[in-house]
Amino acid sequence: MSLTAIGNPFRPGAGHKPLYFAGRNWEKNEFRRLLQQTVILENLILTGLRGVGKTVLLDALKPIAMEAGWLWVGTDLTEAASLSERRLAIRLMADLAVVTSSLELPKVEVERIGFHQSQTPSNRLTFEAMASIYQETPGLNTDKLKAVLELAWECTKTDNNARGVVFAYDEAQNMSDKSDRDEFPLSLILDVFQSIQKKNIPFMLAAAGLPTLFPKLVEARTFAERMFRVVFLESLNETDSRDAILKPIEQTDCPIVLSDEWIAAIIEESGGYPYFIQFICREVYDAALQKIGAGHGPTVQIRNITRKLDTDFFAGQWAKATDRQRDLLGVIAALDGCNGEFTAHEVVEKSKKFIEKPFTASHVSQMFGSLSEAGLIYKNRHGKYSFAMPLLGRFIVRQADFGKSV
């Protein structure tokens, strides 16, 4: 086989499924446990930093649910789709219609829909039928959506193969209440699912999002803390990281063989984060194949790949920070536990030792808010802060600007 015909076995990208999905067996088993609930007491939240594999794992849960007899609906929750209560309700109904459009409606509902002047009578639970029922149900948007979902289960439960429906949504951190506009889509979805689950309707939420998701849910409704099983995705351990590197190679005819030293270097440089593993391995293989094609040995410098990773992954978010904010991020990166949790007090004390103009407590608190909005840090459920991007501390240390300011 010619070198030009060899495909790269690694696929870094936003939610792209790798050739081999390494690890996450515990998380899959936890989802299987949730599927065994006869009454839905716990819904699923997959959360973690960017590049940890939330989207890929959520996609991998779909066949598990279907094998267990559950229907699966959902998509990405864009900001536009979750901008208002009505838009979110339309999103849910449109997704649900994919699996209900062939189901027969009770006769009374067919007659009710038929009275709508602009609606063609239908005996199927299509999106148009659900939208008509939503529109004609009196009350708030919450009441309307409850009526639709309750009817959907009445039609669905006659299917002996359907144990329930999983509503799976990625990028769920985009949902937020907007009191200034009198729109509360986040509260709506919590209220609706809590209500129908109390009626023993097996509709389960499975949401994936950044670590800001769960605090937003609890802020919207305090009962959300008891409503979800939160699974925080960490980096892969060494064994799973090796599998993520080696298994795709075994599944292809690629002639490049990585030495143990290279494997160790990739694991170290990637920190075990799935996206970084895919990115680094792709670059290693592209560079190695080009060198072999030119008659050279398969050598490549890891630092060149790291520079490209800095540009492709970190630079966009880093560009949102002002010079003073970068100074603050540099102080955080100098903390011993920068890749874990940190507090405003720790940053203030560290700044006294590392920069000429140290930060005050009020200044740090204010800047923490703006850095959170920029997607560089986030406030976790314990009231402490963490970097919102994996290995961001390493990136900051590599920046020449920070080296000049300390």
Residues 85 and 154 in one domain: yes
Residues 87 and 139 in one domain: yes
Residues 148 and 268 in one domain: no
Residues 364 and 242 in one domain: no
Mind giving me the DSSP string for 326-340? Answer: HHHHHHHHTSTTTTS
Within-domain flag for 148:
yes
Nearest Cα residue to 178 out of 230, 238, 232, 220: 220
Q: How many CA atoms lie within 13 A of 43 on its CB side?
A: 30
List, in sequence order, the alpha helices (H) in 221-322: 224-227, 238-250, 260-270, 274-293, 302-309, 315-318
User: What pLDDT is stored for residue 295 in this prediction?
Assistant: 46
Within-domain flag for 292:
yes
User: What pLDDT is stored for residue 170 in this prediction?
Assistant: 93
User: What pLDDT is stored for residue 18 in this prediction?
Assistant: 86
Within-domain flag for 305:
no
| 75 membership: H or E segment, kind and range | strand 70-76
Within-domain flag for 11:
no
232, 256, 278 - which closes a domain:
232
User: What pLDDT is stored for residue 108 in this prediction?
Assistant: 62
User: What pLDDT is stored for residue 196 in this prediction?
Assistant: 96
Within-domain flag for 5:
no
| Residue 260 structural domain | 238-300
User: What pLDDT is stored for residue 6 in this prediction?
Assistant: 59
Distance (Å, rounded) from C-alpha 125 to C-alpha 130? 7
Beta strand spans in 129-212 (E) = 164-170, 203-209
- In the predicted model, residues of the chain with pLDDT beneath 50 are 1-3, 115-120, 294-298, 401-406
Distance (Å, rounded) from C-alpha 78 to C-alpha 330? 32
Name residue, tokens 């959907």.
152
Any residues with CB less than 8 A from the CB of 222 and at least 6 apart, and which? none
User: What pLDDT is stored for residue 166 in this prediction?
Assistant: 96
Within-domain flag for 306:
no
Tokens of 357: 């103009």
Residues 245 and 199 in one domain: no
Residues 224 and 242 in one domain: no
267, 300, 333 - which closes a domain:
300
Listed as own residue / partner, the contacts of 223-230 with beta carbons closer than 8 Å and 24 or more positions apart are 223/190, 223/194, 224/190, 227/42, 227/43, 227/190, 227/193, 227/194, 228/42, 228/43, 228/44, 228/45, 229/30, 229/34, 229/42, 229/43, 229/44, 229/45, 230/45, 230/47
Residues 200 and 345 in one domain: no
Residues 213 and 246 in one domain: no
Residues 261 and 342 in one domain: no
Residues 216 and 250 in one domain: no
Residues 195 and 76 in one domain: yes
Within-domain flag for 314:
no
User: Residue 223 belongs to a domain with what CATH number?
Assistant: 3.40.50.300
Residues 42 and 163 in one domain: yes
* This prediction's pTM: 0.86
User: Residue 351 belongs to a domain with what CATH number?
Assistant: 1.10.10.10
Q: How many domains does the chain have?
A: 3
